Amino acid sequence: MAYSGKWSKVKEKPKYTEVKYMAHDTPKMYEESEKYSVIQAAVNAVDKIARDAEQRWGIGKLEELADPGLAVRFEQARQNLNYALRQESIKEVVAKSEDLIRGWKILEKKVLEAGHKPECERVWHMVNDEGKKYAFVNDSSDHVHFDKDITVISMEEVLRVFEAHYKELYGEVKKHFHGAEIVSIKPIKKEKDKLDDKLPF
């Protein structure tokens, strides 16, 4: 299993082996599942702190605004956690997660002390699974506050797209499943596409 944090950018690199499948007895399988849950919980805690900070400042902005020495120490703390994840030691992962959480807090504290402030208020920063950066703002004129690698979208634009393409879908889902979250939308296959599917033999 791979551990990862979408916002904190920590990730265990996959381990490759010549053995394609190895059977484990039932107790061993449960033990590995429990270890994964504990380690991922530590990563999730780091990710929460990272997300909160980047929602205030923008994705990657704190590291850019920090002095070089602090930025290097912060990145080293992140790499230390990555290394601990590869070793899969719960004790080390917890210790390095706590170090990185402290790192996020120190990073923001020092940036504020240097006189920096978030450039745009009331903005929602998001990053998709491929790492593309987005900023959702109240007014489209706020695009001047963001770097060119960030796609800036106003909430009015979001509403237009929603009303034009997804109003009925979202309305029905939210109506029947209160509190539900839509995590992906897949197009319905046309009848011709269904007939063109490869036969399973």
Shared-domain flag, residues 71 and 85: yes
Domain end, chosen from 118, 143, 171, is at 118
- For residue 198, what are the domain limits? 120-201
For residues 70 and 107, is the Cβ–Cβ distance under 8 A?
yes
- 98 with 184, same domain: the answer is no
Is residue 103 located within the same domain as residue 129? Answer: no
Note whether 38 and 112 are same-domain residues: yes
Average pLDDT over residues 183-190: 69
Secondary structure of residue 90 in the 3-state scheme: helix
What are the residue ranges of helices labelled H in the chain? Answer: 26-57, 61-65, 68-87, 90-113, 155-161, 167-176, 191-195
Residues 128 and 186 in one domain: yes
Q: Domain check: are 68 and 147 in the same one?
A: no
User: The tokens 């602090």 sit on which residue?
Assistant: 70
If asked whether residues 173 and 188 sit together in one domain, one would say: yes
Residues 98, 41 share a domain: yes
Bridge partner list, 11: 4
The dihedral through the CA atoms of 123, 117, 76, 93 has a sign that is negative
Rg of the chain over all Cα atoms, to the nearest angstrom: 22
The helix/strand/coil state of 51 is: helix
- Number of domains comprising the chain: 2
Place of tokens 């007014």: 139
The whole-model pTM stands at 0.61
pLDDT, tens only, 40-83: 999 999 999 998 898 888 888 899 999 999 999 999 999 999 99
Residues 131 and 179 in one domain: yes
Same domain, 90 and 13: yes
User: pLDDT band at 24, cuts 50/70/90?
Assistant: very low
